[in-house]
Structure 1
Amino acid sequence: MTQSLSSPKSFSPAAPQVKVWVRRLVWKMAIATFLLMAIGSATRVMNAGLACPDWPLCYGQLVPTQQMNLQVFLEWFHRLDAALIGVSAIALVGLSVWFRNVLPSWLPWASGLALFLIVFQGILGGLTVTELLRFDIVTAHLGTALVFFVTLLSIGACLSDFNGNSTANKLPWIGLTAAILIYIQSLLGGLVASQWALHQCFFRGDMCIVMNSHIIGVIPATLATLITIVVAWRTAALHPTLRILANLALMLVISQVLIGVATFRLHLQVAPLTVTHQAVGAALLGTLTLFTVFALRDRHSSNQFPKSKLT
């Protein structure tokens, strides 16, 4: 009897092959999301947030060729990248459900969460235009993008081949604390940017509390990151992946502090520097997320975490 085409078993490649497909898709989505946040930052810095006055189209067109300039291109390309990521999120859910018999049982739920986040992100993106860049919506837009980004990284890390040696001990919780503080600091930075607090504080004496909160937030976020790095260095027989991520976090946190100081002293007058500041912050958050997930897998390596139908 011919097997029904509606069954996942009607086309069932080897489990490792399916896992590779899904993992590659997730990593590509994570890279695209990182670029999306960088483009979004450039859009804000270049005052292009309202370059397309309508949504979801731009000047009522899919491609506004007649109105196209740098500002319109940034906003239009930002939307295009977001749409492609949204389609990829739908594909991720489809693959994780269709091949659920050969993939980890948690993957459909995780991919569903990712799809929800990107849909919610799209709604916030539309509201940023229709509500004329209202600062709380712009900040929520950034915050949701970062949550979506770390969700993808967590999925990718859990799907990656990794044989831990159970030496991480308390590193997952230390790394998680650092990641949370970096996330909060990123939100404060988004709040400063969306309200143009630095400019207002320097030139009008307004919004200095918002700006100073971001400056003060550097201290706990940086200290938590450095503590994570030092503990990782002092952990004997730590997995090489965790050591690489700890070293990368060190380079990123030093770069972020230096770029932040330069951005502050130049009063946000150098647009590429401002965009780099946000991009490095997102990269640091992503690095700490990967460190935390791999450290958690290392700690529970004897229990084969996360549990999967592949094992």
Structure 2
Amino acid sequence: MSDSLFNSPTISQPTQARSWITRLVFALAFSTLFLMAVGSATRVMNAGLSCPDWPLCYGEIVPRDQMNLEVFLEWFHRLVATTIGFGTIALVAVSWWFRRDLPKWTPWATLFALFLVVFQGVLGGLTVTQLLRFDIVTAHLGTGLLFFSTLLAIGTMLIPYQGTGTVGKLRLVGIAATGFVYFQSILGGLVSSQWALHQCFGQSQLCTIMNSHIAGIVPPTLSVLALVILAWRTPALHPLLRRLINVAGLLLVLQISLGVATFKLRLQVEPLTVAHQATGAALLGTLLVFTVLALRDSAEGQIVKVEA
């Protein structure tokens, strides 16, 4: 079997280097999910400018004299982001060092992840120096989600997986659902970065942005529901794909419930807002992993047919 995008000689029996790299990738991905939750908490607590300078905080690595909850959130957000940045540099280094034990695309994919994390760091600095300008804040979120998705895609391509060749149209519906959830998350970030919900309720301003996010829930909801139903109706579906789609369905229900609660309570309960945004990222990640595995499943099924 050739070393291609979806298949390599080491998929069924991964080397130790490949196993460690896969663990590092998923560790960085889950750390990024945690970082996005911390970033959401920083935003809803109005702590985005608690450290007025960048990259230091009050000119210090650890601002002990000025430390309070808001300063801690912003400082801790930067600390986790820096750790992930160094972790990504390490990922690139080991991927190139052990490139003979990995699919050919792996080192280049990790380089793309490094580019994203560097760009994300630049945007993080601009959010402070440009005083939380809404387009930069939104781009910061969008890049973070793309970096998170890239890591998950790399890790999912590296894990051992033997498909059943029964995915059919699931891969296409999965691509659509993942895309819709990503763009809905960007709309949510736009609402959050402009405080559109507060502006609409308090001053009847920016209601169009808020309503766009509310209306935008329809495409991702319908596509995820279609994916769940189609997966349930697919015979001999791989157990991992079946578990992932069940998780995606539960996350969708939770996300909608949190969104309704956040709207009804007018963002007055900060943990709900943070949970809403974190659940959206988790849903995106689950759909992406499902879709990548479905693509691998389909590719392996085609190879089996050709060999037969």
TM over 0.5: yes
Counterpart residue identity of residue 148, structure 1: F
The 8 Å contact of residues 14 and 160 in structure 2, kept in 1 or not, is answered as no
**Alignment-derived partner of residue 26 in structure 2:** 27
**Alignment-derived partner of residue 128 in structure 1:** 127
What's the offset of the Cα at 1:62?
A: 0.7
What's the offset of the Cα at 1:124?
A: 0.2
1:235 matched to 2:234? The reply is: yes
What's the offset of the Cα at 1:27?
A: 0.6
Stretch of structure 1 that moved more, 121-130 or 90-99:
90-99
CA distance in 2, matches of 1:156, 1:193: 30
Provide the aligned C-alpha RMSD in A: 1.2
**Alignment-derived partner of residue 5 in structure 2:** none
Change over 3 Å in CA distance of 1:304–1:20 after alignment to 2: farther
Counterpart residue identity of residue 107, structure 1: T
The 8 Å contact of residues 124 and 140 in structure 2, kept in 1 or not, is answered as yes
What's the offset of the Cα at 1:302?
A: 4.0
CA distance in 2, matches of 1:303, 1:256: 36
Identity across matched positions, percent: 61
Q: What do residues 55-74 of structure 1 show as CA deviations (whole Å, max 9, x unaligned)? A: 00001111111111110110
Stretch of structure 1 that moved more, 133-142 or 93-102:
93-102
What's the offset of the Cα at 1:301?
A: 1.6
1:276 matched to 2:275? The reply is: yes
CA distance in 2, matches of 1:203, 1:59: 34
**Alignment-derived partner of residue 55 in structure 2:** 56
Counterpart residue identity of residue 121, structure 1: Q
CA distance in 1, matches of 2:212, 2:220: 12
Counterpart residue identity of residue 199, structure 2: Q
TM-score (norm. length: structure 2): 0.93
Pairwise mapping of residues 24-173 of structure 1 onto structure 2 (< 5 A)? Answer: 24-173=23-172
Pairwise mapping of residues 8-23 of structure 1 onto structure 2 (< 5 A)? Answer: 16-23=15-22
Q: What do residues 191-231 of structure 1 show as CA deviations (whole Å, max 9, x unaligned)? A: 00000000010010000000000000011110011001111
Structure 2 residue runs without a partner (length 5+): 1-12
SS across alignment from 1:202: helix
Counterpart residue identity of residue 176, structure 1: I
What's the offset of the Cα at 1:170?
A: 1.4
**Alignment-derived partner of residue 248 in structure 1:** 247
What's the offset of the Cα at 1:303?
A: 5.9
TM-score (norm. length: structure 1): 0.92
Structure 1 residue runs without a partner (length 5+): 1-13, 306-311
SS across alignment from 1:167: coil
CA distance in 2, matches of 1:192, 1:131: 18
**Alignment-derived partner of residue 260 in structure 1:** 259
